[in-house]
Amino acid sequence: MNHFTAILDYGVGNLKSVTNAMRYLGFDTRITSDPAELERADAIILPGVGAFPDAAEKLRVPGLDKTLLTQAEKKPILGICLGMQLLFDRGEEIRPCAGLGLVHGSVRRLETDRKLPHIGWNSLAFQNHSPLFRGLDDGVYVYFVHTFCGVADRESDVIARTEYGPSVVAAVSCGNVYGCQFHPEKSGETGLVILKNFGELNK
């Protein structure tokens, strides 16, 4: 059996950098929008760049949202940036919009006096142990680009926070589902460790 990680292509993701990072780490990685390929994959990465409603629609129209809900019961899924936001119940960007509902909570505009979008390197404060951060020390730096952020209903789903004025949810985990508001594929050695940890979850 071929073992591979599927990177979901639904028209809004920065696929190349994520793919390059995973392949650099030695993982067989396939960019796909085929539900059958998602079914065969060991794990799925959901990247995302842009606005929540547009991305949610691009998942919903071809039925990829239903595929993700089914696969989340079977294998690890990692949402990155907007991909993490789509994991939540709903988003408030532009207009109220339903998300995947894999993590309970909503996606809201950052409440900060600082410049938006938040672009740059920030440190992580870990909470609620997660295999995603195995081998990393509290306080490592990762790269963010965002104006909106997830607000989790359950603090037990939050595995890392950062600060940009107030405390901001930086990563979540619920069952097989993981999300990083930051870009691990742009976060140097720290990001590579996180992607490697994710890639090894189902081994």
- The residues assigned a catalytic role are 81, 183, 185
Other residues' Cβ atoms within 10 Å of the Cβ of residue 54:
15
| Sequence-distant (≥ 6) Cβ neighbours of residue 172 within 8 angstroms | 84, 87, 103, 150, 152, 157, 158, 159, 178, 179
Which spans in 44-88 are helix H? Answer: 52-60, 64-71, 82-85
Taking CA atoms, 137 is separated from 21, 55, 126, 164, in Å, by 21, 33, 9, 20
